[in-house]
Structures are given as C-alpha cells and as structure tokens.
Chains A and B, each alone.
Chain A
Amino acid sequence: MDATTQNEGRVGPKGLTHRLIEAWALFGGVVILAVVAIQSISVVTGAFGHPLPGDFELTELGVAVGAFAFLPYCQLTGANVTADIFTSGLGRRFQAVLVFFSAIIALVFSVVMAWRTWIGTQDQFSYDYQTAILQIPIGYAFVPIVISLILVAVAAVVTLAESYQDIAHPSRNVYH
C-alpha cells in the first residue's frame, strides 16, 4: 500500500489529522536516522579508540521515541497485521463491524496507555531516573511517547468514524 493513496478521500479535518500523523511518523523516522548517525559516527571514532560517549543509551532512548512515533501511523494506515483467513468471505458491512470493534480496542488501549505512561513520566522526573553516562533525565523520552499514544487514540477515532460510515453506507467507501 502506498502512503499517498491512503490520503485520498480524506479531506477536511480528516485530511489534516492524516497529515499530522504522517508528519509525526516522519519525525520518528528522523529520530531513527539520528540514531543511525550516532552509531555510524561512533563506529568510525571507535575505530580510533574513542567511541561516542553514551551512544548506547542514546540509541535506547532514540529508538523508543522513534518507534512510538510510528504507532499512530500504523493505526491510521491499517498496518497492524490481521489474519483475514476466516473473515475474507464475509460481506463488506460485516467486515466494517469487525474493523469498528478493533478500533474500539485500539482506542481503549491507547487512552489507558497514554494515561499510565503520563503517570510514569511524572515518576521518572520525581524519582530522578537518568541515563548512566550522559545523565539525561529519562522522563524527557517519555514526553514524546505520551504524545504518540494520544495520536494513536486520535487515529483510532478516525478509523472508528470511517468504519462506522462503512456500516451505515457499505457502498460508499472502499475500506483498506
């Protein structure tokens, strides 16, 4: 599935949401690229006996932030794998009901997870969790993760709305 075709048919507030979530996924990608750069530089300087201090912990923080930023995009583009084996023969309307049900799970999960991770963020700061070498407060990595989880919830609402439309008017939308 190509990313650009997904955007078609999503205009107005939905189109805006899509662009926002896509931008957030690209932000995650850029963070991964930054980790790639840190690791690559550390390989080169390490060959001369001076690996970048803290490359290990920067990788852990960077990949966590980057990978979480991918989740809203996965929800929006239906990238989370399903086994279609038992249901592919069913009608479009019934399939939409199943998508609706899955979107509810995604919504509940992302809201609960965002709430708990936010509490976790406060713990990180109040107990002074930090990385070993660079002593970066780990709470800073939690903040974009909470944003990602809120965006998963937003994406789940979009999926919910779309599948609801499909249930009401099964012919109008081709659901991916």
Chain B
Amino acid sequence: MDNSLFLGLVGLGALIVLIGIRVPIAYAMIVVGAVGTIALNGPGVFLNQLKTLGFSQFSKYDMSVIPMFVLMGYIATRAGLSQDLFRAANAWFGRMRGGVAMSAIAACAGFGAVCGSSLATATTMGQVALPELKRYRYSGALATGTLAAGGLLGILIPPSVVLVVYAIIVEANIVSMFAAALFPGLIAVALFILVIAIYVRVSPESGPAGDKLSRAEWLSATFGVVPVLAIFVIVIGGIYVGFYNPTPAAAVGVALVAIYGSLRRGVGLKDYRWALLETAKTTGMIYLILLGAELLKIFMSRGGVPQAAAEMMVNSGLSPMVILILLLIALIILGCLMDSMSMILLVMPFFWPVVSELDFGMDPEDVKIWFGILALIVVELGLITPPVGMNVFVISSLAKDVPMGQTFKGVFPFFLGELVRLALLIAFPAISLWLPHMLSN
C-alpha cells in the first residue's frame, strides 16, 4: 500500500481508539496531530508551530460569528421568544388533529431562525411545548419525537453554527451556505408537518385536536411573533440582502435579543451570567476541536494523506455519485455514535479533499455548497438516531415520564421524512443552489 495511505490509516486508527476510550474528541485530535507531526518531522517543527498556532486559529475572523450566534441563542432561550412562537403557531394550527405538535414544529422553525444550535432549540422548545402536548393528551412517543425532530430545525434553518464550521473547514462563503440552507430548511418544516398529519391519521388517539381560540386571543397570539420575525429579518435578511456580512449581523442579533429580553422580558444579570457561561462551554468546546482539527490537518498534509486518499477514490473506478452516497452513508453511520458538530469537525478534513476532486458536472463552488447542505442533513440525523442521539437525550431528560425507547420510536417517522428530503436534495441540487446563485447576481 501507498505509504501516505498507510500513515493516514494509522492516524485514523489511533484517533478511533482514543475517542473510544473516552478521550475528548478535541484532545484525541490534538494527540494524533502532535504525535504524527513529531514522528514525521521532529519535535522542533511541532513546538515552533505551537508558538502562534493557538492565537492564529482562535483569531480567525470567520470564526468570530460562532460565539456570537451561540450567545444569541442562549439569550433568546431566556428571553421568552419560545413562548411567543409556540402561542402564535398554536393559534394557527392548534385546533387541527395533531395541530399542537404541528405548532411545536412551526415554533421550532421560528426559534431556529434566531438560534444556531439544535440542542438549544430542542431544550428551549421542549420546556415550552411538552407541558402543552401533555395537557392535550398527546402520546408520549409523538410528543417527544416531535420535539426531538423539531430541534433539528435549529441547525437546518440559518443561522447555523454547524454550517459556519463547515464553511470554515472547506473555505466556503458563509453567506452562500446560509442562503443554500434556507429552502431545504423550509422543506424540512413542511415534511415534518406532513409526517405529523400522516401519524395522526394512522393513529388518531396519539394527537387529538386542541382548542379553538377567540378572535382576540388569536390576534394577540399571532402578533406575538413580531419580535422574533423582526430579529430574523434584520439579522439573516440583512445578510441575504448584503447589508452586512455575518460577523456584524451576529453582533446585531446578540444586541437585539438582549435589548428585547432586558426591556420586555426582565432578562437580568443572572440570566446573562448563565448565558455567558453556557456560551463559554459551547464555544470553548468548538474552538478546541477546531484547534485539534488544524493539528490533525498539519500531520495529514505533511504525510501527503489527503492527496493519496483523494487519488485513491478518484482512481477507484466508482462514479462520483456512488462515492458521494458512500460518504453520506458513512456519515449516517458515524452519526449514530457522535454528535453533529464533532462529526463535521472530525470528518470534513478527510472527506472534503475527496469530494472536491470529484466531477459532478457542476461548478466547484456549487459542489462545495451542495455537499455542505447534504452533509448537514446527514450529520443532524445523528442527533435523533440511537444509541447516541443528543436531541432524544435532551427531550427525554425533560419528559421523565416517557421512556427513551418511546422517544426513539416517535422520532422514527421524522427520520424517514428526512431521508425523503435527502433524496430530493441529491436529485435536485438546484433546490439548494438557486438562492445563493440569485443572491450573487
């Protein structure tokens, strides 16, 4: 076997062993990257590179949107935006059969429009919607399954921290990525609502209809979404129409959510303290993994691994589409074991060089965007698949009376809906690409 490929396999094997014995993913990458680089080029090279590597990685301008979108999501959690959204959605869908669950999906989509994280969306909306679903006697499986799936909209609808990280790794334009994600995200909302409609048709007792509201209640609930809508239009709309690029947009988003939360919702110092500490955990975790990914990349580049792997794939005789689908299947399998962010961070440095060499008869920039959206969908599926499904864990911890097996069962129809969507997006790249194309012309 080619030396470089062998080296890559040894590195990958060491990585899997370390992660398997519960070493944090970031540190596993750091260890493999460090040991590999030292083995190839000696300790001097590695130690000297460390003098500035930490600063240069953490100071990358593109990455500055990460702490800001994360912080925005946590402040939004405390600012009561989730109640507003759910109340409004419920005013619209509530009286249909399965309508309270549909409302939860719509509210998740709304919250996803100001929050870049899946777990935060699942947690926040779970706290608001689970008691309501219980009140209307929804089955435990449908109630928790809906929220575990709805949480996915946190990353499927821009802003999305996972997409930012993907863009950083493959050097894609963040604005194009956000634009590409919008329509697939809306399709997900539609499919999830369709899944609920079919679910309650098959099993009517699991999702009874809710109450009809008076006109006054309906109006006040509907107008409750104005603040969220305004924030989304200013932040994401502002990025789309090009008023600013993502970093200032994220900053403005933090400021707006904080102002609304402080003035209208009594978000106080204690809440900010909580939001900052949660942001510290999420951001610190992501940044440390990105540093690990950089060290791993250095080792792999020095060993010539990416070129060798890409060459092997290209010379394998498999068609580009088959290779693409194999990679996506690998991501779905990995997703059973890992969370979405770590997966993008861990796998993209290996996968992207391969994909970038494949000829799909498309512009290379388009392939970058399209593959990013496909990868986003398959990695977020990992959040709802057993055994490690973070969204399911979070919702289970909120709904203590529903066994986790029920939640996995309830989320399965949504998983099927996601496979349908994935097939659509593979077959029609234009669904993802037309908005970024329109924006850049």
* Residue ranges of A at the interface with B (Cβ–Cβ < 8 Å): 2-3, 22, 25-26, 28-30, 32-33, 35-40, 42-43, 46, 56, 59-61, 63-64, 66-71, 73-74, 77, 79-87, 95, 98-99, 101-102, 105-106, 109, 112-113, 116-117, 119-120, 123, 138, 141-142, 145, 149
Judged by a CB distance under 8 angstroms, whether B276 is at the interface is yes
Instruction: State which of B51, B54, B55, B67 has its C-beta within 8 Å of the C-beta of A66.
Output: B67
Contact residue among A39, A83, A109, A123 (Cβ-Cβ distance under 8 Å from B19)? A83
- Of all chain A residues, the one with the shortest Cβ separation from B286 is A67
State how many angstroms separate the Cβ of B48 from the closest Cβ of chain A.
Answer: 8
Besides the known contacts A36-B254, A64-B55, 20 further A-B residue pairs in the complex with CB atoms under 8 A apart: A25-B276, A25-B277, A25-B280, A32-B71, A33-B276, A35-B68, A40-B255, A61-B59, A67-B283, A73-B277, A74-B284, A80-B25, A80-B27, A81-B26, A81-B285, A83-B19, A105-B30, A106-B27, A113-B54, A119-B51
Contact status B67-A80, CB under 8 Å: no
User: A59–B247 contact, CB under 8 A?
Assistant: yes
Which of these, B25, B30, B341, contacts A82 with CB under 8 Å?
Answer: B25
- CB pair B287 A70 closer than 8 Å: yes
Query: Using Cβ atoms and an 8 Å threshold, which residues of chain B touch A99?
Result: 22
What is the bound-complex CA distance between A60 and B59, given in angstroms?
Answer: 5
Residue interface mask B278-306, A partner, CB < 8 A = 1: 11111111011100000000000000000
Given contacts A84-B22, A120-B51, contact A32 B68 (CB under 8 A): yes
Residues of B within 8 A of A2 (CB): 274
Report, nearest first, the 8 A-B pairs whose CB atoms are least far apart: A29-B276, A120-B51, A39-B251, A70-B284, A80-B24, A79-B281, A74-B284, A64-B59
**Most chain B beta carbons < 10 A, residue from A79, A87, A102, A142:** A79
Q: Tell me if B27 and A86 are in contact (CB < 8 A).
A: no
Please judge, given known A-B contacts A32-B68, A40-B248, whether A101 and B21 are in contact too, CB under 8 Å. yes
B206 interface residue per 8 A CB criterion: no
**Interface contact B50-A113, CB-CB below 8 Å:** yes
Q: Which of chain B's residues 11-38 have a Cβ closer than 8 Å to chain A?
A: 19-27, 30-31
Task: Report Cα–Cα, A135/B287, bound state, in Å.
Answer: 26
Q: Is B169 an interface residue (CB 8 A)?
A: no
CB neighbours (8 Å) of B54 from chain A are: 68, 113, 117, 145, 149
CB distance from A131 to the nearest CB of B (A): 10
* Bound Cα distance A40, B71 (Å): 15
A35-B284 in contact (CB<8A): no
> CA separation between A26 and B51, bound complex, in Å?
26
Q: Do A70 and B283 form a contact, CB below 8 Å, given A39-B251, A141-B55?
A: yes
* Contact across chains for A39 and B285 when beta carbons are under 8 A apart: no
Q: Are B26 and A80 in contact (CB under 8 A)?
A: yes
**B4 at interface by CB-CB < 8 Å:** no
A43 to B71, CA, bound (A): 19
Cβ of A114 to closest chain B Cβ, rounded Å = 9
Tell me, yes or no, whether B84 is within 8 Å of chain A by CB.
Answer: no
Q: Do B284 and A67 touch across chains, with their CB atoms under 8 A apart?
A: yes
Cα separation A117 to B50 with both chains bound (whole Å): 7
Judge whether B277 and A85 touch: CB under 8 Å: no
In the complex, what residues of A have CB within 8 A of residue B23's CB?
82, 98, 101-102, 105
Chain A residues with CB under 8 A of B247: 39, 59
Q: Do most interface residues of chain B lie in helix, strand or loop, or is the interface mixed?
A: helix
What residues on B are CB-neighbors of A29 within 8 Å?
A: 71, 276-277, 279-280
A87 touches B251 (CB 8 A): no
Q: With A25-B280, A64-B58 as known contacts, state yes or no: A81 contacts B251, CB within 8 Å.
A: no
The minimal Cβ–Cβ distance linking A71 to chain B, given in whole angstroms, is 5
Question: Is the pair B27, A102 in contact by a Cβ cutoff of 8 Å?
Answer: yes
Distance between Cα atoms of A86 and B255 in the complex (Å): 42
Q: Which residues of A contact B172 (CB under 8 A)?
A: none
Contact with A along B57-93 (1 / 0, CB 8 A): 0111101100110010000000000000000000000
Across the interface, name the chain A residue whose C-beta is closest to B48.
A116
Complex formed: what's the CA distance from A60 to B58 in Å? Answer: 8
- Please name the residue on chain B nearest to A142 by beta carbon: B55
What is the distance, in angstroms, from A9's C-beta to the closest C-beta of chain B? Answer: 18
Contact B254–A79 (Cβ < 8 Å): no
CB closest chain-B residue, reference A117: B54
Establish whether residues B52 and A120, one from each chain, have CB atoms under 8 Å apart when the complex forms.
yes
- CA of A98 to CA of B27 in the docked complex: distance in angstroms? 13
Residue of A nearest to B64 (CB): A63
- Point out the residues of chain A lying under 8 angstroms from B22, CB to CB: 82-84, 86-87, 95, 98-99, 102
Central interface residue in B30, B48, B54, by most chain A CB within 10 Å: B54
Q: Interface digits, B226-261 against A, CB 8 Å rule (1 contact, 0 not)?
A: 000000000000000000100110111011000000
CB of B387 within 8 Å of the partner chain = yes
Query: How far is it, in angstroms, between the C-alpha of A37 and the C-alpha of B282 when the chains are bound?
Result: 21
- What residues on B are CB-neighbors of A39 within 8 Å? 247-248, 250-252
Partner of A42, one of B59, B248, B338: B248
Chain B residues in 8 Å Cβ range of A87: 20-22
Please tell me if the beta carbons of A80 and B288 are within 8 angstroms of each other in the complex: yes
Per-position contact with A for B335-378: 1 when CB-CB < 8 Å, else 0?
00111011000000000000000000000000000000000000
Partner of A67, one of B26, B58, B255: B58
Contact status A105-B27, CB under 8 Å? yes
B273 close to A (CB within 8 Å): yes
* Interface residue B7 (Cβ < 8 Å from any Cβ of A): no
Asked whether, in the complex, the Cβ of A81 is within 8 Å of the Cβ of B276, the reply is no
Interchain Cβ contacts under 8 Å between A and B, 29 examples: A2-B274, A3-B278, A25-B276, A25-B277, A36-B255, A39-B252, A40-B248, A40-B255, A42-B248, A43-B248, A46-B248, A67-B284, A68-B54, A70-B283, A71-B287, A71-B288, A79-B280, A80-B284, A80-B285, A81-B25, A81-B339, A81-B341, A82-B19, A83-B19, A86-B20, A86-B22, A105-B31, A117-B55, A123-B52
